[in-house]
Every structure is written in structure tokens, then in C-alpha cells.
């Protein structure tokens, strides 16, 4: 897998799924970070442009068609992400990741400020709309989801994915998201297609997002987006400029050599595997929204889950015990380049949502089987989009999960 860092040159604009008509509405709301589908389309367009593809005839060389597909279907290209990160030039070009705050973490307040993070464990099956959770000592908490915070990959990730310590200090485990990106309101006006003159009564306001630099003396740390790229057959150059999102906004894209992802560290992987071996339980935590469908309907149940069971292979399955979902539902559409029309909106499970699983008959299995399945679960679901099953959304980067214990 290759790693790329995307740095917006100016602001980015990604309109949300709400209907907007410049003649009737005065405000176009934006969303951030960049949706996986938007980024996948931008990467395909960048690849086509680098290979000088004629979009009129759409005659594609075999290698380009195999990787990027055509107007009818996707090729082999598969993305992971995006995830917000910061390039720390002050620290020899290391990368610090900012992860969506997990929905199963309650935040207790101390004098009006968020002081402690408490990781919760399910003790009952709940509905998709519910958030009925208890801590290990049966003390009931009303979960307050801190949307203005992200989970720190440097400190918070190991704490969250392990199953040993249920409480931690907020100022150590979380980062405020306003440090990574800022919302800016921009004024726009529609123009006549032929004369480019401003159209009467088409003035509107749009929400753009800027990823600022963090200054350390004369050195600038840079915020941006990380993506993982698979099956690209060396089609993409090491660096370039791409159009990303609405209004043709530009972004720099640079390949990152030899990047060690924080969730793939040996320490975290071994801690999680040890937890699975000990309990036969694991959680799947969404880093990107999950676009799950069943019978052409959007659902909160992952595509890989059938009848509340997740197939682990060799006749072994894990029961879906519970789920803790971020309550602000998100929707994604897109543009169908074949039919030149809008794609239908699909409801997605927001990033930060968590699914809890219990492996069937775990105590009856041998130690060797425990180790084999713990390794298999990490390989299949940790840092992958396997929850999307065979759905094309998995190629776009939807449903990126990390495995944790509980």
C-alpha cells in the first residue's frame, strides 16, 4: 500500500446532502473532512489526467482501464481514508493523526470542562436509535459526544483499543478539532452561462473549510488528509496538484515514503490480540463513515454481518452484541458520469460509531485456535474496509475500521 498526504492550497468546499437552489436558498452548508466518494472521484480524475485520457472518446489504455475503470464501473483501485493528519516538519517530517472521537466514550465534566474520558462497555442489546450504555461498575452515564474533539493517535489510540484501563484524562487522550481545520463563510453569486454576468437574486453563502499551518518559529507544520492507495499499478506520480471538491478547489498531493501508521504499531496490535485471546470479544471502530446496504436499503448493520453474525471463517462466527452509533446521520450522493445525473442519496453510519462482537463458543476452543483467530481478525478487519463486503463503497474508502478489545 502507498500513502499520500493531501494539502489543500486554499479552502475546500464539500456541500452536504441537503437540497440547495441558489435562487431560493441563501446558505449552502458544507461538510468536512472530505467524503471518501469525493476523494475517490478526485483520484480517478487525477489518474485520467496524468494519462492524457480523451474524455470525449474515453478510449482507455488497458493498464488505465484495469486500475481506474470507466464510466460504467470502477477498476481495481482501492482507497483507505481519508483521515485528518498533520505533517510535523518540526519533528523530522513525522505525521500525527486525528481520529474521529469514538461514540462509546463518555465524557465527564469537572467544573464545566471535560475532564475524564470513560470507555463504556455494552451489557444489553440496543436499537439503532439508542445509546443505552453502562460502565463496568454499573454506574449509568449519559453519553455526551464531544463533536469538537478528536481522538489523539499518539496517546488516545492505545488507551481506547486496549481493554485494560477504562478511564483516562481528556487533555491527554483528545485533541480539539478546531486546531486542524477552520470553517469559513464565503459569499458567492451565480453567473449567466453565456455572458458570465452576475445573475439577479442568486447571492448565497457557502461554508468552506481551511486547514491552517501550525507555526514553530520558522518551521510550519501542515494539516492535511491521509489516504492509503492500493492496487494502483504505479499509475500515480509521486506528487502533483489535483482538483478536490466543489468550485474546482486545488490541493497538493504528495506520496509519503515509509509511513508507519499508528494503529499498525506492534504494541497496539499485540495488546488487541491479547485482549481477544483472553475474552473472545472485540469491537470494530469506524474511522470513515460506513455506507451499508441490504436489499437496496440503507441500514446500520454492516454488509459483512448477516443475521447479527459476522463470519470469521472455518465455521466460526461472532455475534453482534451491540452498537453505539454517532447520532448525527450523514448522507452521501454523487454524480453519475454515465447518465449525467445525480446519484441517489444513501444514509451512512457516521465515523466514530462502534460495533461490539462476541465470538461463539470461545472458551471451548484451544489456545492455538485462540491465537489463530485473533491474528485472522486483526488481518481482516484492522485498518481495512472489510465491513463493506463486496460493495463498491469499500473501494471508495467507506467503512475503514480498527479492531479493539472490550
Lowest-confidence range among 75-84, 122-131, 141-150, 288-297? 122-131
Give the range with max mean pLDDT: 12-21, 45-54, 283-292, 295-304: 283-292
How far apart are alpha carbons 241 and 9 in whole angstroms? 9
Cross-strand bridge partners of residue 206? 28, 186
- Does residue 353 sit in helix, strand or coil? coil
Structurally, how many domains does the chain consist of? Answer: 1
- Phi-psi bin for 383: left (phi > 0), alpha (psi -120 to 50), beta? left
Residue 42's domain spans which residues? 2-97+179-260
CA-nearest of 277, 272, 296 to 359 is 277
The verdict on pTM exceeding 0.85 is yes
In a domain, 82, yes or no: yes
Query: By the 8 A CB rule, do 123 and 134 touch?
Result: yes
* φ/ψ of residue 225, rounded to 5: -125, 135
Q: Is residue 325 part of a domain?
A: no
What's the confidence (pLDDT) of residue 99?
92
Note whether residue 49 is domain-resident: yes
Q: What is the CA radius of gyration of the chain?
A: 22
User: Is position 322 within any domain?
Assistant: no
pLDDT digits 0-9 by tens, 61-70: 888 889 999 8
**pLDDT tens sequence across 111-155:** 555 567 777 777 544 444 444 444 444 444 444 556 677 888 877
Please report whether residue 332 resides in a domain. no
Please check whether residue 395 lies inside any domain of the structure.
no
**pLDDT at res. 21:** 66
Whether 374 maps to a domain, the answer reads: no
Residue 59 lies in a domain: yes
The mean predicted confidence, pLDDT, of the chain is 83
Cis omega before residue 164 (within 30°)? no
Amino acid at each position: 500500500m502507498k500513502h499520500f498526504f493531501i494539502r489543500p492550497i486554499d479552502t475546500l468546499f464539500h456541500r452536504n446532502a441537503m437540497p440547495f437552489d441558489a435562487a431560493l436558498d441563501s446558505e449552502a452548508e458544507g461538510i468536512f473532512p472530505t467524503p471518501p466518494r469525493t476523494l475517490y472521484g478526485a483520484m480517478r480524475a487525477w489518474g485520467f489526467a496524468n494519462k492524457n485520457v480523451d474524455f470525449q472518446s474515453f478510449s482507455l489504455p488497458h493498464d488505465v482501464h484495469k486500475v481506474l475503470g470507466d464510466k460504467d464501473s470502477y477498476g481495481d483501485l482501492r482507497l483507505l481514508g481519508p483521515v485528518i493528519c498533520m505533517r510535523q516538519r518540526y519533528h523530522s517530517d513525522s505525521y500525527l493523526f486525528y481520529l474521529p472521537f469514538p461514540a462509546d466514550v463518555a465524557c465527564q465534566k469537572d467544573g464545566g470542562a471535560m475532564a475524564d474520558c470513560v470507555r463504556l462497555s455494552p451489557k444489553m442489546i440496543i436499537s439503532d436509535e439508542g445509546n443505552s450504555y453502562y460502565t463496568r461498575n454499573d454506574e449509568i452515564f449519559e453519553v455526551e459526544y464531544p463533536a469538537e474533539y478528536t481522538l489523539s493517535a499518539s496517546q488516545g489510540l492505545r488507551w481506547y483499543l486496549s481493554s485494560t484501563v477504562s478511564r483516562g484524562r481528556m487533555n491527554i487522550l483528545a485533541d480539539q478539532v478546531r486546531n486542524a481545520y477552520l470553517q469559513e463563510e464565503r459569499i458567492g453569486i451565480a453567473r449567466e452561462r453565456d455572458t458570465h454576468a452576475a445573475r439577479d437574486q442568486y447571492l448565497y453563502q457557502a461554508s468552506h473549510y481551511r486547514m491552517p499551518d501550525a507555526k514553530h518559529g520558522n518551521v510550519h507544520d501542515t494539516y492535511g488528509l491521509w489516504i492509503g492507495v492500493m492496487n494502483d499499478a504505479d499509475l500515480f506520480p509521486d506528487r502533483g496538484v489535483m482538483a478536490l471538491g466543489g468550485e474546482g478547489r486545488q490541493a497538493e498531493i504528495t506520496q509519503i515514503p515509509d509511513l508507519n501508521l499508528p494503529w499498525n504499531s506492534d504494541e497496539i496490535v499485540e495488546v488487541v490480540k491479547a485482549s481477544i485471546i483472553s475474552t473472545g470479544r472485540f469491537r470494530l471502530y469506524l474511522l470513515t463513515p460506513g455506507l451499508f446496504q441490504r436489499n437496496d436499503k440503507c441500514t446500520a448493520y454492516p454488509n459483512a454481518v448477516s443475521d447479527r453474525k459476522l463470519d470469521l471463517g472455518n465455521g466460526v462466527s461472532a455475534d453482534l452484541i451491540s452498537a453505539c452509533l454517532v447520532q448525527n446521520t450523514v448522507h452521501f450522493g454523487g454524480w453519475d458520469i454515465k447518465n449525467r445525473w445525480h446519484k441517489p442519496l444513501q444514509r451512512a453510519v457516521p465515523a466514530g460509531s462502534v460495533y461490539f462482537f462476541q465470538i461463539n463458543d470461545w472458551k471451548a476452543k484451544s489456545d492455538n485456535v485462540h491465537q489463530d483467530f485473533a491474528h485472522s481478525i486483526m488481518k481482516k478487519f484492522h485498518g481495512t474496509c472489510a465491513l463493506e463486503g463486496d460493495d463498491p463503497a469499500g473501494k471508495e474508502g467507506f467503512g475503514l475500521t480498527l479492531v479493539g478489545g472490550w
